[in-house]
Amino acid sequence: MKKLKWIFLAIVALVALVFLVGMPYMKEQTKKISPEITNTYTKNGMDLSINYSAPFKKGREVFGGLVPYDAVWRTGANEPTKFTTATAIKIIDKVLPAGTYSFWTVPGQNSWKVIFNSEIPDWGVTILSGGKETTRNLEADVLVVEVPSEQLATVQEQLSMIFEYDNQLYLALSWDQTKIRVPINK
């Protein structure tokens, strides 16, 4: 009985060590490979930010390969991408209330679904799936829109998510030779 107690305590200590030391170390190391970036937009009565980890192409086929078509992507690396708006805004013609959301996409060859979700999970994918399965709770989706994708003439090595203004505000996501623009209005 005493031996079982010591085995149990050893297992508890090992699990605590993994969560208290191993996980923070892993997060720190992955951010060296896919750096964390925050971009903001504070004009025209809007206060927006997007926070994401930006992986590099590194010679890989990105869309249709590393990031499969027609499957939910946590959109970036490491923790899920976070989109924050201080006021209610419109994404295309749908209202997104003020708040912080996890940002997910479903890349397609000609268009992408863009998803704003009220839950922000710790990592965004399951470890056991090797990152292929997300932890997104579909019931927490607040807004889903579809936008066309376009081919870029040159390769963009690192994932980029920026706010672009071209007679209209867009959240622009580009990587490899693909770009999407999500219209944002007040």
Burial class (CB in 10 A: 0-12, 13-18, 19+), 105: buried
Q: Phi/psi zone of residue 129: left (φ > 0), alpha (ψ -120 to 50 degrees), beta?
A: alpha
Q: What is the pLDDT of residues 79-107, one digit of tens each?
A: 899 999 999 999 999 999 999 999 999 99
**Mean pLDDT for the stretch of residues 56-68:** 95
The whole-number pLDDT of residue 25 equals 47
Pick 30 or 70 by higher pLDDT: 70
0.85 cut: is pTM over it? no
Rounded to whole angstroms, how far apart are CA atoms 4 and 26? 31
Mean pLDDT of the chain: 86
The whole-number pLDDT of residue 129 equals 47
Can you spell out the DSSP letters for 83-124? EEESS-EEETTEEE-SEEEEEEEE--SSEEEEEEES---SSS
Q: What is the pLDDT of residues 146-186, one digit of tens each?
A: 999 999 999 999 999 999 998 999 999 999 999 999 999 99
CA dihedral 111, 117, 119, 123 (to 10 degrees): 10
Q: Phi/psi zone of residue 99: left (φ > 0), alpha (ψ -120 to 50 degrees), beta?
A: left
